[in-house]
Amino acid sequence: MGTSDQLSGSIEHGFLPVDDGHRLYWEEFGSPDGIPALHLHGGPGGTLGSSGYRHRWDLSRTRLIGFEQRGCGRSSPSASDPNVPAEHFTTQKLIEDIEVLRKDRGIDHWILNGVSWGSTLALAYAQAHPERVRGIVLFAVTTTSREEVQWITETVGRIFPEAWERLSSFARAYVPEYGSDNLSLVEAYSLLLSCPDAQLRDDASLEWALWEDTHISLGAQEVIRDPRWSDPTFRRCMTRLTTHFWAHAGFSQPPLLELIDRVKHLPAIFIHGRNDVSSPASTAWNLHQRWPGSELIICEGDAHGGTSMVERWSQANTKMLDLSS
């Protein structure tokens, strides 16, 4: 376990053993006597980065905890290693990991803060353990439904036909079953990113990363490349886990929207960008419509993130602290 001398600004950080031989990296900021809050990063396959999420909270009032989901970032083993079984990575296992972390940190219940894929995980955890949740703030809302996955992996190709043709042509070249009624594009890439051929895995990872950058760059003069892809371990982890979870619609059956009754008594704030092509605003809208008392904030001009969204995120977290006091 480390201290603030080793990780700037944190109270402490460390590694927590969970099942299947995994160890989770976790970190804690703020006041030990503050209201507990859990940050859930995006992906699937993302990381906490430089822990910038902590700046979205009043740390004098918050006991803020973040962790890197199994297989991601500093958690080990890395999902970039094809020898780590895909069966280790399901939403249910991530929910169980969160419960192990909650008990280890001695927390009874906490505010959930989910970003992008983290919003899917926040909803899934809250539905499994509503008694452990004080409230929920979601940023760039996703539920990873089959419809959402279909949109981002197939339908968006109508906006970016050249990029989608490149992505699908690669799959057709190496996965003969792709194109049948039983195998989708994301399923084909999930197979490629777990195949025994290291060069093919890496080539598929590069193709998927380019597709991610393309649709995120809607409105830009040219594709904006994510600098994180230059780290092969991050790229292989992110692309493998993204396609794996998407191929299984986030392992949520029934879909999360059908289980809102379990959590609709909780305060909830949803923040979304009007121009988010990766996750259309209809996802946040549908969630809001099914959740009486929830608050939906649509930021005009922002996409899957943006200055206005970040500002409203900070405000939403402060409001949730007030509601939890």
Please indicate whether residue 116 is annotated as part of the active site.
Answer: yes
Tokens linked to 251: 């392992």
Please indicate whether residue 304 is annotated as part of the active site.
Answer: yes
Active-site residue, from 22, 39, 244, 304: 304
Active-site residue, from 39, 184, 276, 288: 276
CB 212 within 8 A of CB 304: no
CB 121 within 8 A of CB 94: yes
Residue 192: alpha-carbon gap to chain centroid: 22
Q: Are strands 23-30 and 62-68 parallel, antiparallel or unpaired?
A: antiparallel
The SS3 of residue 33 is coil
The SS3 of residue 56 is helix
Indicate the length of the chain as a whole number. 325
Tokens linked to 158: 């109508």
CA angle 142, 146, 149 (to 5 degrees): 60
Tell which residue, 238, 41, 218, 254, has the closest CA to residue 146: 254
- Pairwise CA distance, residues 102 & 96, whole Å: 10
Active-site residue, from 51, 116, 190, 252: 116
Tell which residue, 300, 280, 296, has the closest CA to residue 215: 280
Active-site residue list? 116, 276, 304
